[in-house]
Amino acid sequence: MKKKLYLGLLLIAFIFQTSFLRVEASQINYKSAEFKAVAEQFACTCGCGQDHYECDPNTCNLTKAFKKDLVGMMNKGWDKDKIRQYYVNIYGEEILTSPEKSGFSLTAWVLPFVVIGLAAIAVFIIIRKWVKQKGSEAVMTDCESTEDEVEGEILSSMIDEERKKYL
């Protein structure tokens, strides 16, 4: 009797579970944020150049089936990383819209910043060198500086006068 009861309960739970899943399945909107997070990882191969989130299921049969599969997996409780791994195992890295952040593909992500970083160091060193060059010349011309200042003042007042004429 008890066994029957358990079986009955299990059956009810099973039925309830499927109906619950069905409700959830119909609730997943192809334009929802949760679906976007999963679908935008995968590139559509119909030639549209879009991912499976953007590609229109009403004009592309490929993405129609793909989207259905994704919803199925999401209903099974798979998270986006598990779904990602599943497809990478089948189709390889090409199915993804951006390269993996591991192995050789990591260079795609890292190299631009490494290059900019190295170039930044180079730029800094170059500027410092140019500033230093100027600095050493400044020491040499230091003694002439007072005379220069007076001359500079006269010059700038002359420039000011000229400027007023042209404004």
Partner 1 sequence: MYLFANATIYIGLAIAVYSLLIITLGISTKNQKFVNSGKSGMIALFICAAMAMIAMFYLLATSQFQYEYVTDYTSSELPIIYKLTALWAGNAGSLLLWTFFLTLYMIMIAYSRKMKGNPMVPYISAILLANAVFFFFILGFVAKPFNILDTVPTEGKGLNPMLQNPGMIIHPVTLYLGYVGLAVPFAFAMAALLMKNVDDFWIKMTRRWTIVAWLFLSLGNIFGGQWAYVELGWGGYWAWDAVENASFMPWLTATAFLHSVMIQERKNMLKIWNISLIIVSYALTLFGTFLVRSGVLTSVHAFANSNLGLYFLIFMGVAVILALYVLMSRYNLLKRSAGEFNSIVSKESSFLVNNLLLVGAAFATFWGTVFPLVSEAVRGTKVTVGMPFFNKVEAPILLSMMFVMAVCPLLAWQKSTVKNLRKNFMIPAILAVIGMALMVILGIQKAWAVIGYGVIILLLVTHFLEFYRGVKARRKMTKESPFVALYRLMVRNRRRYGGYIVHLGIAFITMGIIGSQNYDVETMKTVPLGQSIELRDYRINYDRLDQKKEGINDIVYADVTVFKNGKKLGTFQPEKVFYGNWEQPSSEVAIISSLKEDLYIVLSAWEDNGKATFVVKVNPMMDWLWIGSFMIVIGALFAVWNGKYGNVTPRYTGVRKEVS
- The least CB distance from residue 26 to partner 1, in Å, is 11
Does residue 127 belong to the site contacting partner 1 (CB under 8 A)?
A: yes
Find the shortest distance in angstroms from Cβ 64 to partner 1. 11
Residue 142 is a binding residue for partner 1 (CB under 8 A): no
Cα 20 to chain center, whole Å?
35
Determine, following the binding rule CB under 8 A, whether residue 84 of this chain makes contact with partner 1: no
85 near partner 1 (CB under 8 A): no
Q: Kindly state the smallest distance separating residue 96's Cβ from partner 1, in Å.
A: 6
Q: Does 114 bind partner 1 (CB under 8 A)?
A: no
Interaction of residue 16 with partner 1, rule CB under 8 A = no
3-state DSSP of the chain: CHHHHHHHHHHHHHHHHHHHHHHHHHHCCCCCHHHHHHHCCEECCCCCCCECCCCCCCCCHHHHHHHHHHHHHHHCCCCHHHHHHHHHHHHCHHHECCCCCCHHHHHHHHHHHHHHHHHHHHHHHHHHHHHHHHHHHHHHCHHHHHHHHHHHHHHHHHHHHHHHHHC
Between 4 and 162, whose beta carbon lies closer to partner 1?
162
Out of 2, 4, 31, 89, the residue judged to bind partner 1 by CB under 8 A: 31
In the complex, the residues that contact partner 1 under the rule CB under 8 A are: 29-32, 40-41, 43, 47-51, 54, 56, 58-59, 92-99, 104-105, 108-109, 111-113, 115-116, 119-120, 123-124, 126-128, 130-131, 133-134, 137, 163-164, 167
